[in-house]
Structure 1
């Protein structure tokens, strides 16, 4: 009987160790699942912009094309919606920029001082007065007019148009309406908490 007790003790110890290891493995597995789930939630909730008119990678619709300089469109600024802005956002800004234009690119639109409560802009917000009602201000585009100026590249290779919505840490930027787009860009980027973009194309 004594020998049986001596030989049983190591067996019991091995079983206990196996149980402890199984519990630890289970805890590690649960932790990994939680980490993965958290990563998926974080990825799903990133700051993002979408548009009923402009779809990432697609071509610009005729309603948003410029209506001068050989282009025939309606020159309506695109509808935009955004979600999951960073914590601490106090206002928004929007820009549309053509990086493929000669020189330093071409500013088609720059808007600042959009209130933090706003999560979308209707189509033609620039010309319809919707932005003014919100207290937002618009830059002078590179066509020389205030507000939105749609795509109108020279004939040849299509150009890209980068639409960016910025979440800002300030209520208002120290800018006046009609200032150049580059000036808006400088002030916007200096106050940005985060940004979301879509890129569309147009050629003729």
Structure 2
């Protein structure tokens, strides 16, 4: 079950279903979804995601990946894409490199607008990587590519109508 603790201050929203052929709830991420950029020996390939059951009134989606266990006061944003058209209900493996037409890629905490895979500090224990798809009640959030994931999520406070979560883990021993 999803641990809501990092999202405790957010309003409760309905949920829908999020699945993946690349990652699984509570399971260790494969090397493809581990970071090369951050030196963890991976490939920085965004996972395949499919979602269904979003509520009526969904006009777009936002996809994020967040590590609440990162050793910073604000966690670590690994991936953020907004304004995904409502007609899109799947992202293929590696879609971060070429998101759907109209979608906006945002700079993550690694300083790139691409997907940065898992990279917890060695010996820091298992980190949770919260993949979240948020159904949005507007076709486009009023954010551009310069908006941080925090700003995107602030906008979701007003426009998010449902969320779907999937939380794989990763640990460097």
Residue 74 of structure 2 corresponds to which residue in structure 1?
104
Q: CA RMSD in A?
A: 1.2
Aligned to 2:27: 58
CA–CA separation in structure 2 for the residues paired with 1:57 and 1:189:
26
Deviation at 1:185, TM superposition (A): 1.3
Matched position secondary structure for 2:167? strand
Aligned pair partner of 1:67 in 27, 31, 36? 36
Decide which structure has the larger Cα Rg and report it.
1
**2:109 aligned with 1:139:** no
Q: Give structure 2 stretches of 5+ with no counterpart.
A: 1-14
Q: How does 1:115-194 map to 2 (within 5 A)?
A: 115-127=85-97, 129=98, 131=99, 133-156=100-123, 157-194=125-162
Taking CA–CA contacts closer than 8 Å with sequence separation of 6 or more, which of the two structures ends up with the larger relative contact order?
A: 2
Normalized against structure 2, the TM-score is what? 0.86
Per the alignment, residue 24 of structure 1 pairs with none
Partner residue, 1:29? none
Gaps of 5+ in 1: 1-45
Higher percent of residues as helix: 1
Distance in 2 (CA, whole Å) between partners of 1:189 and 1:55 is: 27
User: TM-score normalised to the size of structure 1?
Assistant: 0.74
Q: How many correspondences in the alignment?
A: 156
